[in-house]
Structure 1
């Protein structure tokens, strides 16, 4: 191969690699922040995949029904795009004639700052990459969070801007787009949860290896649970499982944060193998010793 051509190819590859590396760094930063924002929504109004939803493009809103607490939640979305599960292609929202233009007016400027591979109207993708892309988009919008829903053979990805919470027809809360959490650095609270996880993991492992019976395992894990939980409601008693999503080997990130009304949380993000997921424990600010956990999300 001609040396000039080889040099050009190497330069092109180097440029692409750097662009991809920069994008992955941006994804990491965005995911770290957006995990907190989505967790805040889970804490405040129980945002979760099991909620019923209605995407109303004419009204320009997503309506969630949260049966557990009787909330009706209305969010203003900004649609990033859709993913076709059949041919594994991502289509930008502003290039999709079936999507209301008022719901994707930020997409074009976002796309222009991505590597050229992703500036095409449609490109081959994966659900993991789409979620990273949505996270970055939402982060740059300073959104409240993000969500995605499957509709037949398509997944629609969108950011959550202003959110209004209703109960019995009355508006009880407006959540303006921003990060409503305050990150903290108090290692003792994270270490507390790590100890709790380690003791639970040992019991689950012994049960999985058939070294103890289910009855004995349940008694042991309940004892460990009550050692760390101030809230002794049986609703929160753990089950036996393997593998465990709280295994330290699979945890990607730990965070501690407060929210507006001075509530304290420890959150961890874990690699489930097919996706990452975040969970949080609420810690009683006034409790002492190990018995300090009062809720989980």
Structure 2
């Protein structure tokens, strides 16, 4: 009898572990893909958390004002849900009467693909779990990217479908919902960025350990910067920081990719402890040697 119970428990444990493992794998794959799509939006129209935004549920759109580029960007959103920061609960968008039905019509079918703990109208959650859900939701919709915005004590999570970019009132670009990047199987420039980071990390470490003064550190780090950057604009000169995001141990993933106008990028995703952030360097295709970085995002 005891043997039978133990066998059943082992089978159940194996079943739930596999289910959880499968979901974690899906989250990981979706995060990897959607980080790349969000980076594309950052490159093309400077998608940033600091952009002003306005939801218009009647029109079914979210409008971003991108002051740096003098753009107005209008996207079609699909809402996933909201997170209450007071009681740490997530509420699905289709169970929220304040959200227009045309903006939450994809949620029900998505929720049904998830384990039962996620199928309640409202459940305890965290911002990390919410981002995983949003990433998977967006990936399954083949979205252009995703975003989240805080309003008072609530965070709103939504996916971005069609995106239209306007300048001076004229539509200059329409971005259809899909992947617009070409990931390269052979990564020839990731090693370049790793060398760049390693040298910057060493200077930051020396400064943090008070082995060199701030003036000496800035001279050293500027010299390293100009060793790798073709674009010598002082706007891009690095600062000193500790903990340092250039530490290889903090980097979760590297990618090398092109976009449709044959521009080349190296992207890396860093684990900051409470969240992860992705960054990218643009590489000049027509230059050889180490000095070929022309931009960063």
Q: Corresponding residue for 2:230?
A: 230
For residues 240-279 of structure 1, the aligned pairs below 5 Å read 240-279=240-279
Q: Corresponding residue for 1:83?
A: 83
Question: How far did residue 104 of structure 1 move?
Answer: 1.1
Question: How far did residue 6 of structure 1 move?
Answer: 5.7
Question: How far did residue 98 of structure 1 move?
Answer: 1.0
Partners of 1:120 and 1:16 lie apart in 2 by 18
Q: Corresponding residue for 2:185?
A: 185
Question: How far did residue 9 of structure 1 move?
Answer: 4.8
Query: How high is the TM-score relative to the length of structure 1?
Result: 0.97
Is structure 2 residue 280 aligned with structure 1 residue 280? yes
Q: Corresponding residue for 1:154?
A: 154
Stretches of structure 1 lacking an aligned partner (at least 5 in a row)? none
Q: Corresponding residue for 2:22?
A: 22
Q: Corresponding residue for 1:63?
A: 63
Q: Corresponding residue for 2:204?
A: 204
Partners of 1:115 and 1:3 lie apart in 2 by 29
Partners of 1:95 and 1:87 lie apart in 2 by 17
Question: RMSD between aligned alpha carbons?
Answer: 1.3
Q: Corresponding residue for 2:131?
A: 131
Q: Corresponding residue for 1:173?
A: 173
Moved more, 110-119 or 38-47: 110-119
Question: How far did residue 97 of structure 1 move?
Answer: 1.0
For 2:189, what is the secondary structure of its paired residue?
helix
Question: How far did residue 12 of structure 1 move?
Answer: 3.7
Partners of 1:221 and 1:231 lie apart in 2 by 15
Q: Corresponding residue for 2:33?
A: 33
For 2:265, what is the secondary structure of its paired residue?
strand
Partners of 1:187 and 1:99 lie apart in 2 by 44
Partners of 1:53 and 1:10 lie apart in 2 by 51
Partners of 2:94 and 2:9 lie apart in 1 by 33
Question: How far did residue 186 of structure 1 move?
Answer: 3.4
Stretches of structure 2 lacking an aligned partner (at least 5 in a row)? none
Q: Is 2:200–2:246's contact at 8 Å kept on the other side of the alignment?
A: no
Partners of 1:217 and 1:95 lie apart in 2 by 54
Partners of 1:73 and 1:108 lie apart in 2 by 28
Partners of 1:188 and 1:261 lie apart in 2 by 19
Partners of 1:5 and 1:195 lie apart in 2 by 56
Q: CA, structure 1 residues 110+232, in 2 after alignment: closer, same or farther (shift >3 Å)?
A: same
Is structure 2 residue 49 aligned with structure 1 residue 49? yes
